[in-house]
Amino acid sequence: MDNIKIQTTQNVDIEYQLASVGERILATLLDYVFFAAYFFVVILLLSWAELVGRNYIAVMIILALPVLLYDLLCEMFLQGKTFGKMIMKIKVVKLDGSQASFGAYALRWLLRIIDTKIFSGGIALIVIVINGKGQRIGDMAAGTTVIKIRQKVTLNDTILNKVKPEYTIVFPQISQLTDNDISVIKEVMRVALRTNNQEAIEQLAAKTKATMGITTNLPHTQFLATVVQDYSQYSFDN
């Protein structure tokens, strides 16, 4: 399985496992299953309610909109995933590891017409294989790619961690950080610890200290874990 090295917004390089072409195709096929189920239910409802009549074309256009906008809406509201991608445990991310914006999702959606519709996916397949970053044309334009994700999501996978009621903030300068900073810190730590990438952890710790304007003798991993805990408490307090 190919990997991609992504430079985060904090200038720390981490590696992600790219979703394979097969996984992306299976995710798309699963989405088609959802489409089929949707149209089956719609046809049943229309036949029971006798809503078509003279407004057949208008009704069909309205009912087709969820399918036409499916990828855009799903990826926007499900953080880079469609239902097919959720089942296959893959998702869309920006090349800096952050969550894509609406504009990026919209570009992917618009260019899907070229990637997968006009040439039945042939162009997308060729571009993904040649590109080396798991990108079809829409991804290249939007600055995104598709990666594999973990199977289980817990509270620790969100921006905030659960903290004890008596927890006291260690670094008051935590207010200098943002939700995006903490999200990047947690993601880099997760990947770096899994791959034993001590260099990435050291770089991240140095960047975080510089942003907060502090010095500390805490080991890098302990420092970053403390920062996440501090930010969680800071967020709950405010």
Please give the Cα distance from 143 to 100 (Å, whole number). 9
144's enclosing H/E stretch is strand 144-148
pLDDT the model gives residue 167: 83
Residues pairing with 147 in the sheet = 18, 91
pLDDT digits (tens, 9 = 90+) for 12-23: 666 778 888 889
Q: In this predicted model, which residue has the larger pLDDT, 122 or 201?
A: 201
> Are the CB atoms for 221 and 189 separated by under 8 Å?
yes
What pTM did the predictor assign?
0.64
- Least reliable range by pLDDT among 41-45, 54-58, 165-169, 171-175: 54-58
Q: Which two tokens stand for residue 226?
A: 């403390």
Q: Which of 100-104, 197-201, 205-209 has the lowest mean pLDDT?
A: 197-201
Contacts of 199 (CB under 8 A, 6+ apart): none
Query: What digits encode the pLDDT tens for the residues 184-196?
Result: 888 788 777 777 7
Of all residues in the chain, what percent carry a pLDDT higher than 90?
29
Q: Is 145 left (phi over 0), alpha (psi -120 to 50) or beta?
A: beta
Query: Over 90: is that where the pLDDT of 165 sits?
Result: no
**Band of the pLDDT at 153, cuts 50, 70, 90?**
very low
Residue 60 has pLDDT above 50, yes or no: yes
Residue 56 pLDDT: 65
